[in-house]
Amino acid sequence: MNILAKLNQIKHQDMKMKSNGFGLVDGILSISLLAGVITYGIYFSSLRLGTVHSSNLIRSVNKEIERDIERLKLDLWAMFYDQNKGEYLLSKNECNDFFENIINIPSWTIDTGTENAIIQSWRPGKERSKVFSGGTVLITRELNISAPVNNESLNNSIATVNYSVQWGTNNKHWLSIDLNPEAHSWCEQII
């Protein structure tokens, strides 16, 4: 009986050890699983934050370019308009090539320090959007004048404004718009 009592005592000690805590293997396995879950959680959270930042950046750049286009449109509508007579007054030369008129409107000149008036750049500030804090985004617009058809004998009456955006290592063409004096029927009266 002495042996049976000893076995019972050993069995109670084993059960006591098992009920008091984890073993070494259980502890290592639990810590490894916890580290894996935390690592994946941080990784997916950073991916989500990167996506949210990119989405906010795209939305803010679109709004900034839209504001710039609206300023250009207002100045183009006011170009050649005589408020006293209530009509547009312009010559045929201004309809054939209105390059000089575009670069001389008030909203075209953003950076007066540049020698090239065709290319204008600006860095929107944090007052426009929190995404622009730090001045990391550079928006550039470039003016190109061309003829309606690939024929040099025709006038140069189409202006294309190309917008590109640069941030970090990205430099992307964002948008192109075409401007032309015929859009508001300015040149119909001159024929």
Residue 51, both tokens: 């996506």
Residue 18, both tokens: 């098992």
Tell me how far apart the alpha carbons of residues 167 and 158 are, in angstroms, rounded to a whole number: 30
Task: Report the pLDDT value the prediction gives residue 181, as an integer from 0 to 100.
Answer: 62
| Farthest CA pair distance, the chain | 126
Taking alpha carbons only, the member of 144, 120, 132, 136 closest to residue 171 is 136
Task: Report the pLDDT value the prediction gives residue 178, as an integer from 0 to 100.
Answer: 85
Tell me if 88 sits within 8 A of 80, measured CB to CB.
yes
Predicted TM-score (pTM) of the model is 0.69
pLDDT in tens, 175-185: 999 877 655 55
DSSP state of 91: -
pLDDT in tens, 125-153: 888 788 887 778 999 999 988 766 665 55
Residue 19, both tokens: 């009920």
DSSP state of 121: E
* Per-residue confidence in pLDDT tens, the chain, 191 aa: 577 666 667 666 655 555 555 678 888 899 999 999 999 999 999 999 989 988 989 999 999 999 999 998 888 888 777 788 887 777 666 666 677 778 888 888 776 666 777 888 888 888 878 888 777 899 999 998 876 666 555 566 678 899 999 988 889 999 999 877 655 555 654 44
Bridge partner residues of 158 (DSSP): 146
Task: Report the pLDDT value the prediction gives residue 75, as an integer from 0 to 100.
Answer: 85
Residue 25, both tokens: 């293997």
Tell me how far apart the alpha carbons of residues 47 and 188 are, in angstroms, rounded to a whole number: 55
